[in-house]
Structure 1
Amino acid sequence: MAEDPAGAAGEPAARAEQDAIIAALAPVVDGVVATFGAFCEAVVHDFRRPERSVVAIAGSVTGRGVGGSMSEIGMKLLAAGDAAADELNYLTRTRDGKLVKSSTMVLRDSAGTAFGALCVNLDVTAVAQVHTLVGDLAGVAALPGPPPTTTFGDDITAVLDSLVDARQLREARPWPQLTRAERLDLFRDLDRQGVFAVRGAVQQVAARLGISRASAYSYLAATRAG
């Protein structure tokens, strides 16, 4: 994926329009949290700066601040580019155990370019606990399958590490034991998830895998050439 995920965002008119949309939405996050209360967080993301995509935030469900990074969900939308679609009413779990219900709505300019997102996160941990208690009392089994753990934070490196580690775990073998085809597939998958749209990601992935930066660039180039 190209380094500039917004495509035409480099054009002054398009960038000015996108800046205006973000500026208009920035005060909206305070209104959303004021409406839903202390268990709510609202965030405006700017995909043009994935390493510090949080440009406005109210509430503290995920513990991030302005200048914080996007999560794996944001990376997925970033990778999709203009084909990104809204993600509504999904459940995730933070690394400190909170159960979070979220909706992520893609921001587009008049040309249809996806350049950011408005996210609303609700901490429903207490609600889920009550639901479990009532279900136990009523003899109703809990729904199978825990929600995926999501990395929220102010440092994009933690998100990248999480994506690399999750992808490696699916192989169930360390990097030296993978075939070339499997290594290329790993890099292809990371690229599809938007990992390499982040500045410095190739070096970080190389370090996480224990390979040289030159090797990482070589694998990435091979996957994109094919």
Structure 2
Amino acid sequence: MEKLEEYIPIVKFIASMMGENCEVLLHDVRNPENSIVAIENGHISGRRVGGVLTDLVLKIVHNKEYQNQDFIANYVVVAKDNRICQSSSLLIRDENREIIGALCVNIDITALLATKRFLSEFIKIKPPKELKNMLSIKAGSRSSDEDIGETNGEENEILEHLLETSGDVVELLIGKVLNKVTIPVERMSQDEKIQAVRELNELGLFLFKGGVSELAKRLKVSDTTVYRYLHKIKDEEKKG
């Protein structure tokens, strides 16, 4: 915790600099059910100190693809009341390069997106190439083939949901996996249910109290059966 405490003044500094539309918080990933150790402008997500870890940070901690990354920048987040945030997270590591925390910055851009849509209603033309080039030079960083008021046309994936309780996180994670299943749960084979447990284990579901029971309820099996599936998965991982 000592290392993380060094970042608390930075949380306050960034929030003071960016203003009330910028939520800044510090997570201790070693305590997923009470991970938030500092937060400023929590009205954006409705969270407070003692709140839970997010689905993205859980994924980062459990997914090897993030092992060599120091930060993740400019991803899409859905916050309280469906507010849209542009977010970035700095990963904090200990002396062994293990992730122990995350400094997260969530900028509420809901009003900006509405303004962009409003302005785009008045722009009905694609400018001539010469005008595009002039605008590109003036803007400095804009691509010359980018339409005025438009992005690159790619739809950004929602990477993170800012939730208030561990129950919310459990429900979200289970939904992420089971919503991909195209058949009723009653018709899922044992192998398909084990695969669901495997994916949810990778997402960090079982770090939360009640995760096993809620999944058992959704799969229509007993808690004991879910634990048996988990033991089977861990045995397979040990065998390589």
Equivalent position SS for 2:63: helix
Equivalent position SS for 2:122: helix
Is 1:75 matched up with 2:58?
yes
Q: Could you tell me which of 33, 56, 78 is aligned with 1:93? A: 78
The alpha-carbon deviation at position 144 of structure 1 amounts to: 5.3
The CA distance in 2 between the partners of 1:54 and 1:114, in whole Å, is 15
The alpha-carbon deviation at position 24 of structure 1 amounts to: 1.1
Equivalent position SS for 1:70: coil
Which blocks of at least 5 consecutive residues in structure 2 are unaligned? 125-146
Deviation per CA, 1:25-81: give whole Å up to 9, x if none: 112211111100010011100011001100110012211000001111111122137
The CA distance in 1 between the partners of 2:11 and 2:123, in whole Å, is 38
Q: Return closer, same or farther for 1:83/1:220 CA change in 2, 3 Å cut-off.
A: same
Q: Tell me which moved more, 138-147 or 102-111.
A: 138-147
Equivalent position SS for 1:67: coil
2:220 aligned residue: 210
Is 1:40 matched up with 2:22?
yes
1:128 aligned residue: 113
Is 1:188 matched up with 2:198?
yes
Match for 2:202: what amino acid?
Answer: R
Q: Return closer, same or farther for 1:73/1:149 CA change in 2, 3 Å cut-off.
A: closer
Q: Could you tell me which of 146, 156, 174 is aligned with 1:164? A: 174
1:3 aligned residue: none
- Residue correspondences, number: 208
Equivalent position SS for 1:171: coil
Equivalent position SS for 1:48: coil
2:8 aligned residue: 26
- Higher relative contact order, structure no. (Cα contacts within 8 Å, ≥ 6 residues apart): 1
Contact 2:72 2:89 in 1 (8 A): yes
Contact 2:24 2:105 in 1 (8 A): yes
Contact 2:193 2:219 in 1 (8 A): no
2:132 aligned residue: none
Q: Return closer, same or farther for 1:84/1:48 CA change in 2, 3 Å cut-off.
A: farther
Deviation per CA, 1:169-199: give whole Å up to 9, x if none: 1012232211222111111111111222334
RMSD: 2.1
Q: TM-score, normalised by structure 1?
A: 0.83
The CA distance in 2 between the partners of 1:92 and 1:215, in whole Å, is 34
The alpha-carbon deviation at position 138 of structure 1 amounts to: 1.6
Larger Rg, first or second structure (1 or 2)? 2
1:4 aligned residue: none
Q: 1:168-179 counterparts in 2 under 5 A?
A: 168-179=178-189
Q: TM-score, normalised by structure 2?
A: 0.79
Equivalent position SS for 2:59: helix
Is 1:63 matched up with 2:46?
yes
Contact 1:67 1:154 in 2 (8 A): no
